[in-house]
Each structure stands twice: as C-alpha cells, then as structure tokens.
Structure 1
C-alpha cells in the first residue's frame, strides 16, 4: 500500500538512521485482539515506548504484558523506494484489509484502518461523543485544558 507523502515525511524525521536516498524504518504494532487497526510508530516513538516499558519493575505483570503487546505483536519494516509499505497477509487479515486503507495521523504515529471498519466503529464513537456535548460547545476548547480537567 502507498503511504501518504506527509506520513512518509514523519517517518523520515522519526528515523535517526534515515538520510536522503534511504528508506525510513518503522514498526507496525498490531497489538491485542481488541485492536481493529494497525498502529505505525516512527523509530523514535517506538524507542520511547520501549524505554517506558523498561522503566517498569522487572517481573511485573504490566511490564511482561506490555512487552508482549509491543515487542511480541509488532512488525519492524521499512517504506520501499516507491513510498509503499508491504504488509504481511497476517496483518492485513487481522484488520480485514482487502483493498484500500484509511490512514489517521497522530503525531509520530499513524493508524491504518479498513475504511468500513473505521466508519462504522470509530466514527460512530466520535459522533456519540460529539452528540453528548452541548450544541454551543466547540471541541477545540479541550485543546487549552490541562489533563484531568
């Protein structure tokens, strides 16, 4: 599948080993059974996740489970010369991807969805959240709030 150019720029910027002419590397996390999407991490982003996992107490259930979710259920790869990403059949099957994909950027990560799944599940959840807001509330107000407010 072809990675949108803006997402490729983020992957390049987030790969310390990348230089002009090389293919940026990334890690595709397919995660637990509840995930209906693939999450693509820049190399810097996945290193941050790994550092946080390593900071957890050795032998803790949380550390072990997060290692399994991020290290054991991921696929290191790179974007090819044509800007495409080749996903193994296992990953395509996990999200039911048979044709075009839907991409959502989130800073130094992006998600890959089967378009109909996104539309029926994630968009419905967003619509539900918006419907709960008073009509005169613009969701942009949440950008200025501190976590927990």
Structure 2
C-alpha cells in the first residue's frame, strides 16, 4: 500500500527519485514485469483541470481497466472513463537507479519544476507540484473544519 508524504528534487530532464517504499509497492504490483529491476506503472493525468498525476501499479491499473470494460457498451459513464482514464494515461518504468523520468508534457501539465511532492493514497499515489498541493491541503482543511468542526477526528469516519 502507498502511504506517506515525500518531496524529491526534479532535474532538468524530469528525473526524480521515487520513495523507496513506493518502489517496493510498484515491484509487488508488477509481478510479471519483463525486466526484473524495472517495474511498470501507469500515470493517469486525466482532465485538463486535474492538478495532480495519479499513479497506479500495473496490476491495479489492469484491474481498473477491467472494471471499466465491465460496464455496458455505449454506457455514457464507460465512455467518459475510457476517455479520461484509459485515454489520458501514460505507461512508465522505473529506471535501474530507482527513478522515474517524467515526460515534459506531464511536467508541464502540473507545472512541476524543481521539486515533486508524492502523496500515498493506499492503492495509488499522487504526484503534485508542492505549492499546488499545499494550497489544495489548505482549502481542504478549511472545508473539513466547516463541515465537521474544529475537533474533527478522521478516525471517526471509520
């Protein structure tokens, strides 16, 4: 499972380290990878207004694609999922040094320059520009406090 928060430097070619715990999860999520030291992952970049990249293991993305394919043909939700999940995805591999090379179009989409913020979400992790994520967190915190009060305990949702 992907958990935790990390910030890593991004070089001019888009290379960045992947948190070691995330690398292990990516390996576990791609047991049939053709190259033993290069697990595959899928990055969903989605709609134009999406401010983060959502990263799936190979196995998790295949399961997601199967869920989409299970929807009835012609179903408008299936068509949207095909367009904005399957169509707006990019396959990648970890390099032998445990890094990923984020293509320029993905760096530009979320405005990453010198640093990338990684946020674990269980089955997936997200990559953000650190400042964008901080602004998102601040807005979310205000909404949570408005809805649940100052003494909100997230464990109360369980």
Question: Which residue of structure 2 lines up, in the alignment, with residue 134 of structure 1?
Answer: 149
Per-residue deviation, residues 51-102 of structure 1 (Å, max 9, x unmatched): 1101111122211111111221111011001110011100000000011100
CA distance in 2: counterparts of 1:139 and 1:71, whole angstroms? 32
The residue matched to 2:53 in structure 1 has which SS? strand
Q: Are the counterparts in 2 of residues 30 and 38 from structure 1 also a CA contact under 8 Å?
A: yes
By percentage of residues, which structure has more strand? Answer: 2
Give the match for residue 64 of structure 1. Answer: 79
Secondary structure class of the residue paired with 1:85:
strand
**Superposed displacement of residue 21, structure 1:** 4.2
Partner residue, 2:96: 81
**2:23 equivalent among 5, 8, 23:** 8
Paired positions, count: 142
Q: What is the alpha-carbon root mean square deviation over aligned residues?
A: 1.7
- The 3-state SS of whatever aligns with 1:101 is strand
Shift of 1:42: 0.4
Structure 1: unaligned runs, 5 residues or longer: 145-149
Query: What SS does the corresponding residue of 2:145 show, helix, strand or coil?
Result: helix
List alignment gaps of at least 5 residues for structure 2.
Answer: 1-15
